[in-house]
């Protein structure tokens, strides 16, 4: 979900345990974060800082949650924005916004006594698509250039360690300059969950709901091929609404089945097997 307006939450409440499935994404991300936390080791070894991590995958799979959990895990200030916030601006304004974003992140960290800040840019493809292409024009180029300048300027010797996390579901259209070493050189794939992942997401989103003993979450996970985490959250909510409307005290299996149909129709989900 795109964040409307950049947020200045100190430390977000999402933990890695609140994210269902995505085991390999979590593991890869945590490994990178553990590395970043060892600032003395990094300096001692003369290692180049990890400046950017790109989360790549379809909508609603938990990329924003992962970024928030990363901030919590590293005790970092979290600043979220979206590529869409840089569009429709006068020349130079996008670039200025990027500069301010980095400045703000550092200042917030200092103000709250944190050593690190994470900047999260959702929909990075909007400002970072291949330069000189139809989707891109001069103003975006300036904005993208400024982002690259800011990232190139980050150093392990800075008093506040800054990490830029970005999310995209269009990695194919990203300007290669963004993916070069020292920029978004770590790519974490965040795919649609398989059955096991869907089951743990369903467990998380039904934990606060009165489920009938006959509810078979495993079967629901089986029947929700191609559902994202966001779809599954919606499904659990719709099932609860069906139960409430009916005056049922518990949410029953058939409420989930009805909700599956509703989500599929509402989203016009394409459930054909992947090529």
Interacting residue ranges for ligand ATP, rule: CB under 6 A? 1-2, 19-22, 59-65, 122, 167, 169, 201, 204, 229-230, 233
Measured at the CA of 60, the angle between CA 54 and CA 66, to 5 degrees, comes to: 45
Between β-strands 52-56 and 77-82, what pairing exists: parallel, antiparallel or unpaired?
A: unpaired
CA distance 246 to 258: 13
Of 56 and 161, CB closest to ligand ATP:
56
Query: Residue 243 — φ and ψ, nearest 5°?
Result: -65, -45
Instruction: Starting at the earlier edge strand, list the strands of the sheet with 116-122.
Output: 77-82, 116-122, 161-168, 52-56, 186-189
In Å, what is the CA distance from 95 to each residue of 100, 138, 139, 156?
9, 11, 8, 24
Q: In the complex, what is the shortest distance from the CB of residue 19 to ligand ATP, in angstroms, rounded to a whole number?
A: 5
Which residue has its beta carbon closest to ligand ATP? Answer: 229
- CB of residue 40 to ligand ATP, shortest distance in Å: 32
Residue 20: CB minimum distance to ligand ATP, A: 4
49 vs 73, which CB is nearer to ligand ATP? Answer: 73
| 219: nearest Cα among 255, 257, 193 | 257
C-alpha distances (whole Å) from 127 to each of 40, 51, 84, 98, 170 are: 34, 18, 8, 11, 12
Q: How far is the CB of 165 from ligand ATP (least distance, A)?
A: 11
Tell whether the torsion through CA atoms of 48, 158, 68 and 31 is positive or negative. Answer: positive
Q: How far is the CB of 228 from ligand ATP (least distance, A)?
A: 6
* Shortest CB 55 distance to ligand ATP, Å: 7
HSE-up of residue 191 (Cα within 13 Å, Cβ side): 11
Among residues 125 and 175, whose Cβ is nearest to ligand ATP? 125
What lies within 8 Å, CB to CB, of 242 at 6+ separation is 251, 255, 258, 259
Nearer Cβ to ligand ATP (138/194): 194
Residue 49 or 54 with smaller CB distance to ligand ATP:
54
- Which one, 61 or 146, has the nearer CB to ligand ATP? 61
Pick 120 or 140: Cβ nearer ligand ATP: 120
User: Min. distance of Cβ 196 from ligand ATP in angstroms?
Assistant: 12
- In angstroms, the CA 199 to CA 62 distance is 15
């Amino acid at each position: 979900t795109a964040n409307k307006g950049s947020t200045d939450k100190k430390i977000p409440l999402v933990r890695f345990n609140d994210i269902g499935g995505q085991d390999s994404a979590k593991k890869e991300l945590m490994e990178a974060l553990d590395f970043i936390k060892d600032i003395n080791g990094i300096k001692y070894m003369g290692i180049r800082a990890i400046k950017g991590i790109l989360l790549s995958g379809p909508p609603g799979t938990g990329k924003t949650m992962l970024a928030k959990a990363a901030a919590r895990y590293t005790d970092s200030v979290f600043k979220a924005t979206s590529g869409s916030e840089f569009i429709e601006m006068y020349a130079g304004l996008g670039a200025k916004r990027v500069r301010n974003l980095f400045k703000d992140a550092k200042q917030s960290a200092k103000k709250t006594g944190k050593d690190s800040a994470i900047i999260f840019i959702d929909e990075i493809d909007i400002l970072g698509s291949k330069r000189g292409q139809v989707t891109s024009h001069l103003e975006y180029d300036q904005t993208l250039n400024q982002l690259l300048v800011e990232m190139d300027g980050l150093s392990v010797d800075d008093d506040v360690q800054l990490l830029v996390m970005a999310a995209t579901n269009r990695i194919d259209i990203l300007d290669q300059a963004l993916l070069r070493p020292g920029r978004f050189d770590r790519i974490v794939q965040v795919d649609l969950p398989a059955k096991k992942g869907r089951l743990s997401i369903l467990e998380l989103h039904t934990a606060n709901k009165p489920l009938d003993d006959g509810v078979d979450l495993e079967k629901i996970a089986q029947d929700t091929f191609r559902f994202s985490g966001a779809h599954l959250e919606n499904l659990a909510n719709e099932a609860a609404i069906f139960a409430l409307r009916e005056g049922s005290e518990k949410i029953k299996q058939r409420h989930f089945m009805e909700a599956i149909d509703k989500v599929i129709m509402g989203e016009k989900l394409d459930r054909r097997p992947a090529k």
